Amino acid sequence: MLEKIKQEYFDRSTQIILIDKENKILDSDHRLFKLKTGTYLHDFHAFFFTLLDAFESDEKTQYFPSIKFEREGEDLFLDVNFTRESDDKASIILNDCTKYYKDLHQIYQIRNESILKYRISEENNRVLEEQRNFKNKFLSTISHEIRTPINAIKGFLEILTLTELSQEQLDLVNIIQNSSNNLISLIDDLIDISRIEAGKLKIDSKRFDFKAMISALEETYSLKCREKGIEFKLAIPKSIPQYLVGDDLRINQILINLLENALKYTTSGYIELRANIKKQTSSTIDLKFEVQDTGYGISDKEMENIFIMFDRLKRGINVEGSGLGLSIAKQLADLMNADISVASKVDEGSTFGLDIKLKISHNQSKSRKRKSKSLTELEPDKKFRILMAEDIEINQMLIMKMFRTHPEYSLDLAKNGEIALRLIKEREYDLILADLTMPIMDGLDLTHHIRTSENPKISKIPIVALTAHASNDEKEQTLAAGVNAYLVKPVNSALLFETVAEQIKKSKRSRK
Ligand code: ADP
């Protein structure tokens, strides 16, 4: 039986040939190929020329794997074994390994293809990542560049409203103010998107006054609703603790977004802001905010896309917008592990929900701010000397105009940090207003030079940074560098003078 199986195997796959030194066939079986005795093996296949040298080699046996032959139009892959039997005779064993080599080839091919596919997808990902980085960088750079001139427009408009204007002129100024506010909020949206996508938007966790946040929303939206002829309703349980811990700026941003939409897409009826306690422990609270309106509503089809960037209502309703708000709100909610939901009926209205878990502050007592006296009360006859380092002329003019209505200050100007530093060494200043982006020496470098000065009169001067880049990272970096306060352009004059007075007072107190 064993012999029979062996025989069958050899019959199928092996041929033995006997040759002399010149490759002449002395004998052969014919299992794979019919070979005539007396003919030359290299005439049958050029590979066998190699064997002419094999006779001269010191090796008695030699092995040549995977030599390609052809039989009746079919490729065969054979292993060839050469054995020198005597000085002038050798045996050749041809072993048919076609199936083995073909399978192997296929395995290699599959492996190579998958390696290739992997490399292609890696390359595609790299290109996508590069494009995304470029888009984010482009968005954030352009947005910051646009913020600077709008800052000037807004500031001068503010000054223009303080001059004598006819009603018609006031109406026009109002329209420009509204448009520049819309432009600024669009730019802020773009900055937010680029920062969320670049993973740079960090969620804060700090104690905040929940009631104050809701009151501010109530004040703004009851007024806005009244102007539009709709009702504003508020339903907030008194039992929600006043001081919570979380990112109030971002929660506020989401609520404003939902309220603005409710206002935009409602022409009659009401808008309601509600909050409900879903669960409360001694240290946490699960809140559900809801913003309900009686507006256009959203169809099932539209509902699929409302959280997608740039997707807008298409029912021919002429309402301005960029289609960014809900997408940002959703991404902010995700960053805070919160949920945004929506239920709506066309022509009846919509209800947007925000489910969020917050911590309850251990300290529920109001932190009392010392009522600060005005600077002039503190030192009635003194004029405080301020140095402003700012390279952009229009921003210089704007701040100069603001200071014109505050005679308790005198203002000097420097075009960059280097000039500012020279002036600081020549004169005594009560405060430095420093733009962060300036040529030659920027605001951070200037701060560094001031803070490391050996002269304590210089090293202790309060510094207020002005920036067009509203980001938490930059704020932290700036404060860590020794800046005392950080204001974002377009800066409103009330906040500017409040900050300037506060910082001067603080520095006077610390020097006493
Ligand atoms: P925008 O309002 O700038 O278009 P949003 O991202 O805030 O962008 O909203 C996306 C879309 O969702 C809107 O264009 C509108 O179709 C729909 N939408 C959002 N809020 C409401 C609402 N309260 N009522 C009706 N439709 C809404």
pLDDT in tens, 327-365: 999 999 999 999 999 999 999 999 999 999 999 998 887
Q: Round to whole Å and give the CA distance between 383 and 496.
A: 17
3-state class (DSSP) for residue 272: strand
Copy the structure tokens of residue 363: 């300290």
pLDDT tens digit sequence for 91-140: 999 999 998 898 888 888 888 888 888 888 888 889 888 888 888 778 77
Residue found under tokens 């169809």? 299
- Taking the CA of residue 295 as reference, the ligand 1 atom at the shortest distance is 24
Instruction: Choose the weakest-confidence range: 205-219, 256-270, 366-380.
Output: 366-380
d(CA 191, CA 479): 21
- Maximum CA extent, the chain: 128
Give the best-scoring range by mean pLDDT among 6-15, 149-158, 201-210: 201-210
pLDDT by residue (tens digit) across 296-321?
999 988 888 888 877 665 655 677 77
pLDDT at 332: 94
**Gap between the Cα atoms of 245 and 359, Å rounded:** 5
> What does 312-353 look like in DSSP terms, one character per residue?
---SS------S-HHHHHHHHHHHTT-EEEEEEETTTEEEEE
Residue of the nearest CA to atom 4 in ligand 1? 323
Q: Please give the C-alpha separations between residue 43 and each of 71, 72, 82, in angstroms, as whole numbers.
A: 15, 17, 17
Alpha helix (H) residue ranges in 162-247: 167-197, 210-228
How confident is the model at residue 377, as a pLDDT? 57
Phi/psi for 88 (5° steps) reads -125, 15
Q: What is the pTM of this model?
A: 0.60
Distance 153 CA to ligand 1 centre (A): 29
Q: Round to whole Å and give the CA distance between 451 and 483.
A: 9
The pLDDT assigned to 239 comes to 94
Q: Among 228, 261, 303, which is best to mutate for testing ligand 1, by the most ligand atoms less than 8 A from CB?
A: 261
Closest CA to 15 of 36, 25, 37, 30: 30
For the CA of 314, the nearest atom of ligand 1: 16
Rounded to 5 degrees, what angle do the CA atoms 202, 208, 212 make? Answer: 125
- Determine contact, residues 243/207, Cβ cutoff 8 Å: yes
Write the residue with the smallest CA distance to atom 25 of ligand 1. Answer: 297
CA distance 378 to 207: 32
Q: Report which ligand 1 atom has the smallest distance to the Cα of 291.
A: 23
Beta bridge partners of 293: 271
**Phi, psi (5° rounding) for residue 415?**
-80, -20
Q: In a 10 Å sphere around its CB, with 0-12 CB exposed, 13-18 middle and 19+ buried, how is residue 219 labelled? A: exposed
Instruction: Name the residue of 260, 294, 298, 352 whose CB sits within 8 Å of the most ligand 1 atoms, as the mutation to test its pocket.
Output: 298
Find the residues whose C-beta lies inside 6 A of ligand 1. 261-262, 265, 293, 295-298, 302, 306, 312-313, 321-327, 350
Cα(371) to ligand 1 centroid in Å equals 43
Best residue for ligand 1 mutational test, from 228, 272, 312 (most atoms within 8 Å of Cβ): 312
Mean pLDDT score, 392-410: 84
pLDDT (0 to 100) of residue 17: 95
Q: How far is the CA of 298 from the centre of ligand 1 (A)?
A: 8
- Residue 352 amino acid letter: F
Indicate which residue's Cα is closest to atom 16 of ligand 1.
313
CA pair distance 7, 3, nearest whole angstrom? 6
